[in-house]
Amino acid sequence: VGGTPALKKAIIGKFARENNLNYTPGQIIVGVGAKHVLFNALLASLDPGDEVIIPAPFWVSYPEMVTVAEGIPVIVQADAAQGFKMTALQLDAAITPKTKWLILNSPNNPTGAIYSPLELKELAEVLLRHPHVHIMTDDMYEHLRFDHVEYKTIAEVEPELFNRTLTVNGVSKAYAMTGWRIGYAGGDAELISAMNLIQGQSTTNPSSISQAAAVAALDGDQSCIDTMRHEYERRRNMMVEKLNECAGLQVTAPPGAFYLYVSCAGVIGKTTERGRTIFNEGDFVDYLLGEHNVATVPGEAFGLSPYFRVTFAVSDEDIIESCTRIKQACAGLTNKREEVA
Dihedral sign (CA 67, 69, 74, 75): negative
If the CB atoms of residues 112 and 306 are measured against ligand PLP, the closer one turns out to be 112
CB 86 within 8 A of CB 154: no
Binding of ligand PLP by 186 (CB under 6 A) = no
Q: Toward ligand PLP, which CB reaches closer, 168 or 326?
A: 168
* Least CB distance to ligand PLP at residue 77 (A): 18
Q: How far is the CB of 170 from ligand PLP (least distance, A)?
A: 4
In terms of CB distance, is 35 or 235 closer to ligand PLP?
A: 35
Residue 183 makes contact with ligand PLP by CB under 6 A? yes
Q: Is 178 in the site for ligand PLP (CB under 6 A)?
A: yes
- Report DSSP letters for 168-210, one per residue: EEESTTTTS-GGG--EEEE--HHHHHHHHHHHHHTT-SPPHHH
Beta strand pairing call for 307-311 and 297-298: antiparallel
- The four Cα atoms 327, 294, 64, 12 give a dihedral, to 10 degrees, of -90
Angle at 64 between CA 208 and CA 38, to 5 degrees: 35
Give the span between the Cα atoms of 232 and 253, in whole angstroms: 12
Could you say which of 8, 14, 35, 236 contacts ligand PLP (CB under 6 A)?
35
Q: Is 34 a binder of ligand PLP (CB under 6 A)?
A: yes
Closer residue to ligand PLP in complex, CB, 203/277: 203
Question: In angstroms, what CA-CA distances link 232 with 214, 225, 318?
Answer: 22, 10, 14
Which CB sits closer to ligand PLP, 152 or 181?
Answer: 181
- Interface residue with ligand PLP among 19, 99, 137, 172 (CB under 6 A) is 172
Rule CB under 6 A: which residues touch ligand PLP? Answer: 33-35, 59, 105, 109, 138, 140, 170, 172, 178, 183
